[in-house]
A = this chain, B = another copy of it.
Amino acid sequence: MSNHDVPGSAPRCWSRLVGEPLPVEHAAELAQTFKALGDPARLRLLSLIASHTDGEACVCDLSEEFELSGPTISHHLRILREAGLVTGERRGTWIHYRAVPARLERLSDLLTPTLITAEAVAP
């Protein structure tokens, strides 16, 4: 993304999200991903999957640790998959889910404050 490379012309360019106005075409895709994270159950599911042994979990694992029904968990997992935050691989009866580090890294990078200020360069 171009706004990762350009520090921006504003005096205080403290975030890669905001170094320059976010293009419309990026906003829609990013908003979908943030919306997927905008639910407590999905945030906890993502956290449980990635904290699970070997970084993967199936609905059978999650049902044991989570207070939601299997179909509700599957619904939330579908949204996380569509947003690119988890992948699913069927092995035998179950789909095994893994979080996608590259996707989280991209979001993290976008929100990272860079604190490029006039003061920082020449105090």
A interface, CB within 8 angstroms of B = 8, 10-15, 17-22, 24, 27-28, 30-44, 46-55, 65, 99, 101, 104-105, 107-113, 115
Complex formed: what's the CA distance from A18 to B20 in Å?
30
Stoichiometry, copies per complex: 2
* Chain B residue, CB-CB nearest to A23: B44
Q: Is the interface of A mostly helix, strand, loop or mixed?
A: helix
Q: Kindly list chain B residues whose C-beta atoms are within 8 Å of the C-beta of A12.
A: 54-55
Give the complex CA separation of A54 and B9 in angstroms: 10
Cross-chain contact of A15 among B36, B50, B112 (Cβ < 8 A): B50
| A101 lies within 8 A of B15 (CB) | yes
A28 to chain B: which residues have CB within 8 Å? 40
B-side contacts of A115, CB under 8 Å = 101
If A47-B17, A104-B17 touch, whether A31 touches B39 (CB-CB below 8 Å) is yes
